[in-house]
């Protein structure tokens, strides 16, 4: 990647609208699959509610413009769970998702957590491969009901060193 990337791990409530805009840009493509992402139902206000309850938002910026975002919070197993990691389509292919995962992992370790965990749509083989290349492994699978009401097949992933349980 040739442009400097800045990642803010806890962007704070003042960045909620920016995070939602990036999230909507990144997840809009799922509508074409017939399984629209629940991300499209999220709003600045719903995100602010999550943030007030302990969810943090990471934002990646290129030249000051938000191009990726992810939500994260402590998981029951002690890991740092991240979700809704999305990169705007015009910024893809530059390693931004991988940089976000690395930054989230560094944050997890700085907090004394063993690593990361997440859920990924089972159909997203590219995302699964990216996460596996970054040291995560599939630890389970199942189905989840999206905010849209759709039943979606997912895989659970965690850092290889993260204790399961």
CA distance linking residue 93 with residue 154, whole number of Å: 23
Tell me the whole-structure pTM to 2 decimals: 0.87
- Domains of the chain plus CATH, in order, are 5-117 (3.40.630.30)
pLDDT value of position 1? 43
List alpha helices for the chain, DSSP H: 16-27, 44-52, 96-110, 125-133
**pLDDT tens-digit readout, 10-62:** 999 999 999 988 988 887 776 655 555 666 677 778 888 999 999 999 999 99
What pLDDT score does 3 carry?
A: 61
The pLDDT of residue 27? 74
């Amino acid at each position: 990647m040739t442009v400097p990337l800045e990642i803010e791990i806890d962007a704070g409530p003042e960045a909620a609208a920016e995070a939602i805009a990036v999230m909507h840009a990144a997840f809009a493509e799922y509508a074409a699959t017939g399984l629209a992402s629940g991300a499209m139902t999220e709003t600045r206000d719903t995100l602010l509610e999550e943030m007030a309850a302990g969810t943090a938002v990471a934002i990646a910026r290129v030249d000051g413009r938000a191009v990726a975002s992810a939500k994260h919070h402590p998981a029951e197993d002690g890991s740092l769970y991240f979700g809704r990691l999305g990169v705007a389509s015009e910024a893809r292919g530059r390693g931004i998702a991988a940089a976000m995962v690395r930054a989230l992992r560094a944050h997890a370790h700085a907090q004394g957590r063993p690593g990361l965990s997440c859920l990924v749509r089972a159909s997203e083989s590219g995302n699964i491969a990216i996460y596996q290349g970054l040291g995560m492994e599939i630890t389970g699978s199942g189905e989840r009901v999206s905010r849209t009401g759709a039943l979606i097949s997912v895989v659970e992933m965690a850092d290889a060193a993260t204790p399961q349980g």
